C-alpha cells in the first residue's frame, strides 16, 4: 500500500506591480503607436478581469502598416549590412532579457498560463530566438542556402494565443535577420506582450517601419493574407484557418509557411524507464494547459506495462496544482478563453459518449475564469474522435499496443504529423521508431523541448515549411526551395 503525505503550500503570488497596462491601445505602425478605431477587450482568463481595450484593425490600418513596412524595407532594412541588422537583433534580445519579469507577468495575466512557465520557458526562449538569429544576420551566405541569399520583402505574420511572445519571436527574429520587414498580428485574446514588444523596438531604436504590429481578429488576419503589398505569409494556428490561407495565397506570388495542428503520439515501450516516462507524459500533455500544437495528446502504451504506467500516472496527476497562474507553485493555469473551454468540454463529452473512460484527480477549480481539470481517457480506440481531433486542452487519450510495428501504425494513423515521443531504454529501438514515424519533431525520452537552433514543423495537415534553425531561415529568403 502506498501512503502519501501532503503538505499544504502557502500561496506564493508573483506581484503584478512591475507591469503598467494602459486602458486602451492602438496599433504600432512606422515606429509609432497610432490610434485605432473600434476596440475590443482583452481579459485575464483566470479572473475574467478586463485588462485593456484593444484596437481592431481594418483595411486602412493594415494598408498603413504594409506601406510603412515597404518603405522601411526599401529605404533602410534591405540596404543595411547583415552585421548592422544583427546589432539591432542583439539589442532587442538583451532588452527582452532585461525586461523579462515584466514580459512574464504580462504574458501570464493576458494568457492564463502559470507564471513559472512564462518566466522559465516562454520569455527566455523568446530572447534566445533573437540572440540566435542575431548571429545569422551577417552569416546568411554561409547557411548553405545559396551564395548571395536575398530577403523576400514584406512578411505578414499571424500568430496564435498559446505562446504569444514566443510565437512572435519565432516569426519576427528570422524575418528580420534575413532582411525582411514585418506586419504582425497577435491573437485577439493575447495581444499585450506584442504591444510591449513594440515598446522594445522603440527602445532598441529599430528603424521605423521594420516591425509593425496591428491588433485585431480573424478579419484583420484575412486583410493581411489578402494584401497585395505583402510578399510572404507566416501563420501559426488552426488547420482550418491554415487551409483558408493556403487557398487564398495559391493564385498569388506570396510565399507561405503554415504551422498548424497536431495529435502527437507519445509512445511508451515496455523497456521504458517508467518513473521518468510518467514525468514526460505529464509534461507532454499538461504543459501550458495542453494548449500546445505538438502536445503528446495520444499516449500509446505497450500492453504489458499499461497498468503500471497508468497507476503511476494517476498518482502523479494527483499532485498537479491547478489554479491561480500568478502563484509560483501552480502547474496548470487557466484555459485561454471561453471559446476554447467550450471546445474542450464538447470534445471530452464526445469521449464519454463514445465509450472511453474519463478520469481526473480531485481538484478544486476557481469559481471565476475558465478552468478544466487535467483529464485522461482510457479505453480509447483509433476510431474515437478524441483519438483523431486536436482537443488543445489538458486532456490525454490513452491507447495500447502489443508490438512495436503496431505502435508505429497507430502513431502514424492521423491526418497530422507535427511531433512524436518515444520512451525506451534501447537506442536501436528509438532510432528504428524515429525513422518510421511521420512527424516533423521526434523526442526520445523527453518531450516538449524547444531550441532556436532546431527546425520545427510538420507533415501532412500539420503544415508547410520549417521554423527555427538553418531550415527556418530558408522560409525568409528568395529562391530557396523548401518542402
Ligand atoms: P485560429 O486559427 O482561428 O487563430 C489563430 C490566429 O489566426 C489568430 O491570430 C486569429 O485572429 C487568426 N485568424 C483567424 N481567422 C483568420 C483568417 N481567416 N485569416 C487570417 N487569420 C485568421 O485558432 P483559434 O480559433 O484561436 O483556435 C481554434 C483551434 O485551433 C484550437 O482549438 C486549436 O486546436 C487550434 N490552434 C492551434 C494552434 C497551434 O499552435 N498550431 C494555436 C491556436 C489554435
Ligand atoms: Mg487575454
Cβ–Cβ under 8 Å, residues 131 and 86 = no
Closest approach atom of ligand 1 to CA 244:
18
Q: How high is the pLDDT of residue 2?
A: 56
With cell 502557502, the residue in question is 10
Angle between helices 192-203 and 82-98 in degrees, nearest 10: 120
Secondary structure letter of residue 358 according to DSSP:
E
369 within ligand 1 shell (Cβ under 6 A): no
Cβ–Cβ under 8 Å, residues 159 and 186 = yes
Closest approach atom of ligand 1 to CA 245:
19
CA distance 234 to 229: 15
Whether 7 shows a pLDDT value over 80: the answer reads: no
Mean pLDDT of 50-66: 98
Q: How high is the pLDDT of residue 482?
A: 46
Q: What is the whole-number distance in angstroms between the Cα of residue 217 and the centre of ligand 1?
A: 10
Whether 33 shows a pLDDT value over 70: the answer reads: yes
Ligand 1 test: best mutation among 54, 160, 460, most atoms within 8 Å of CB? 160
Q: How high is the pLDDT of residue 193?
A: 99
390 within ligand 1 shell (Cβ under 6 A): yes
Q: What is the whole-number distance in angstroms between the Cα of residue 429 and the centre of ligand 2?
A: 43
Ligand 1 test: best mutation among 111, 168, 237, most atoms within 8 Å of CB? 237
Ligand 1 atom 21, closest CA:
221
162 within ligand 1 shell (Cβ under 6 A): yes
Whether 285 shows a pLDDT value over 80: the answer reads: yes
β strands within 142-241, DSSP E: 154-158, 181-185, 211-213, 232-236
Q: Which of 3-17, 78-92, 241-255, 341-355 has the lowest mean pLDDT?
A: 3-17
Q: What is the whole-number distance in angstroms between the Cα of residue 250 and the centre of ligand 2?
A: 33
Distances (CA, A) of 241 to 173, 229, 235, 401: 23, 21, 9, 34
190 within ligand 1 shell (Cβ under 6 A): no
Closest approach atom of ligand 1 to CA 187:
9
Torsion sign over Cα 336, 342, 345, 347 = negative
Three cell numbers written together for 371: 478552468
pLDDT in tens, 318-329: 999 999 999 999
| Nearest ligand, CA 347 | 1
- Three-state DSSP class for 30? coil
Which uninterrupted H or E stretch holds 172?
Answer: helix 164-177
Q: In this prediction, what percent of the chain has a pLDDT beyond 90?
A: 96
Cβ–Cβ under 8 Å, residues 55 and 37 = yes
With cell 539591432, the residue in question is 88
Ligand 1 test: best mutation among 57, 233, 238, most atoms within 8 Å of CB? 238
With cell 487519450, the residue in question is 397
CA distance 299 to 400: 8
Whether 5 shows a pLDDT value over 90: the answer reads: no
CA distance 158 to 57: 13
- Three-state DSSP class for 181? strand
CA distance 91 to 100: 14
CA distance 446 to 438: 18
Closest approach atom of ligand 1 to CA 343:
32
- State the average pLDDT for the chain: 96
338 within ligand 1 shell (Cβ under 6 A): no
Evaluate if pTM is beyond 0.85.
Answer: yes
244 within ligand 1 shell (Cβ under 6 A): yes
Q: Exposed (0-12), middle (13-18) or buried (19+): which is 355, by Cβ within 10 Å? A: exposed
Q: Which of 115, 117, 123, 132 is nearest to 98 (CA)?
A: 123
Cβ–Cβ under 8 Å, residues 41 and 53 = yes
Which uninterrupted H or E stretch holds 349?
Answer: helix 338-353
Whether 83 shows a pLDDT value over 70: the answer reads: yes
Q: Which of 441, 387, 410, 405 is nearest to 263 (CA)?
A: 387
Q: What is the whole-number distance in angstroms between the Cα of residue 44 and the centre of ligand 2?
A: 5
Q: What is the whole-number distance in angstroms between the Cα of residue 279 and the centre of ligand 1?
A: 29
Q: How high is the pLDDT of residue 35?
A: 97
Ligand 1 test: best mutation among 111, 183, 216, 241, most atoms within 8 Å of CB? 241
Closest approach atom of ligand 1 to CA 261:
41
Pairing of the two strands 463-464 and 298-302: unpaired
Q: Enumerate the active-site residues.
A: 259, 293
Whether 291 shows a pLDDT value over 90: the answer reads: yes
Q: How high is the pLDDT of residue 338?
A: 98
pLDDT in tens, 160-210: 999 999 999 999 999 999 999 999 999 999 999 999 999 999 999 999 999
CA angle 331-294-40, nearest 5°? 70
Cβ–Cβ under 8 Å, residues 429 and 405 = no
246 within ligand 1 shell (Cβ under 6 A): no
Whether 9 shows a pLDDT value over 90: the answer reads: no
Q: How high is the pLDDT of residue 479?
A: 76
Distances (CA, A) of 201 to 30, 156, 213: 11, 17, 11
Phi, psi of 281, rounded to the nearest 5 degrees: -65, -45
Which carries the bigger pLDDT value, residue 4 or residue 75?
75
Q: How high is the pLDDT of residue 4?
A: 64
Whether 1 shows a pLDDT value over 90: the answer reads: no
Amino acid at each position: 500500500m502506498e501512503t502519501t503525505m501532503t503538505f499544504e503550500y502557502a500561496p506564493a503570488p508573483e506581484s503584478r506591480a512591475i507591469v503598467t497596462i494602459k486602458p486602451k491601445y492602438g496599433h504600432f505602425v512606422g515606429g509609432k503607436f497610432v490610434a485605432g478605431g473600434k476596440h475590443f477587450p482583452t481579459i485575464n482568463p483566470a479572473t475574467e478581469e478586463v485588462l485593456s481595450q484593444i484596437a481592431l484593425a481594418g483595411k486602412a490600418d493594415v494598408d498603413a502598416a504594409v506601406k510603412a513596412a515597404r518603405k522601411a524595407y526599401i529605404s533602410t532594412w534591405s540596404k543595411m549590412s547583415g552585421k548592422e541588422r544583427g546589432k539591432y537583433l542583439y539589442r532587442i534580445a538583451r532588452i527582452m532579457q532585461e525586461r523579462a519579469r515584466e514580459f512574464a507577468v504580462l504574458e501570464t495575466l493576458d494568457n492564463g498560463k502559470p507564471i513559472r512557465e512564462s518566466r522559465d520557458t516562454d520569455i527566455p526562449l523568446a530572447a534566445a530566438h533573437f540572440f540566435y538569429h542575431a548571429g545569422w544576420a551577417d552569416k546568411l551566405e554561409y547557411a548553405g542556402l545559396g551564395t548571395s541569399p536575398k530577403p523576400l520583402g514584406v512578411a505578414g505574420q499571424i500568430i496564435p494565443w498559446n505562446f504569444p511572445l514566443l510565437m512572435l519571436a519565432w516569426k519576427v527574429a528570422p524575418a528580420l535577420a534575413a532582411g525582411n520587414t514585418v506586419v504582425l498580428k497577435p491573437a485577439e485574446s493575447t495581444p499585450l506582450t506584442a504591444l510591449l514588444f513594440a515598446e522594445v523596438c522603440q527602445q532598441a531604436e529599430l528603424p521605423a517601419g521594420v516591425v509593425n504590429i496591428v491588433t485585431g481578429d480573424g478579419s484583420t488576419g484575412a486583410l493581411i493574407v489578402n494584401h497585395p503589398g505583402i510578399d510572404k505569409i507566416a501563420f501559426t494556428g488552426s488547420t482550418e484557418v491554415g487551409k483558408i490561407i493556403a487557398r487564398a495565397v495559391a493564385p498569388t506570388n506570396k510565399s507561405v509557411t503554415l504551422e498548424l495542428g497536431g495529435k502527437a503520439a507519445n509512445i511508451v515501450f515496455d523497456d521504458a524507464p517508467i518513473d521518468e516516462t510518467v514525468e514526460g507524459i505529464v509534461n507532454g500533455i499538461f504543459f501550458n494547459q495542453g494548449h500546445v500544437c505538438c502536445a503528446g495528446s495520444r499516449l500509446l502504451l505497450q500492453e504489458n506495462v499499461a497498468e503500471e504506467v497508468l497507476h503511476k500516472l494517476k498518482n502523479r496527476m494527483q499532485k498537479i496544482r491547478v489554479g491561480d497562474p500568478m502563484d509560483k507553485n501552480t502547474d496548470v493555469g487557466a484555459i485561454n478563453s471561453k471559446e476554447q473551454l467550450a471546445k474542450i468540454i464538447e470534445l471530452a463529452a464526445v469521449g464519454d459518449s463514445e465509450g472511453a473512460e474519463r478520469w481526473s484527480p480531485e481538484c478544486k477549480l476557481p469559481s471565476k475564469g475558465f478552468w478544466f481539470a487535467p483529464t485522461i481517457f482510457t479505453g480509447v480506440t483509433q476510431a474515437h474522435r478524441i483519438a483523431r481531433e486536436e482537443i488543445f486542452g489538458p486532456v490525454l487519450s490513452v491507447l495500447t499496443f502489443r508490438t512495436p510495428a503496431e505502435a508505429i501504425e497507430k502513431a502514424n494513423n492521423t491526418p497530422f504529423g507535427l511531433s512524436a515521443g518515444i520512451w525506451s531504454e534501447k537506442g536501436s529501438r528509438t532510432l528504428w521508431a524515429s525513422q518510421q514515424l511521420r512527424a516533423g519533431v521526434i523526442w526520445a525520452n523527453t518531450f516538449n523541448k524547444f531550441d532556436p537552433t532546431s527546425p520545427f514543423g510538420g507533415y501532412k495537415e500539420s503544415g508547410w515549411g520549417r521554423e527555427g534553425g538553418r531550415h527556418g531561415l530558408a522560409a525568409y529568403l528568395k529562391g530557396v526551395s523548401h518542402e
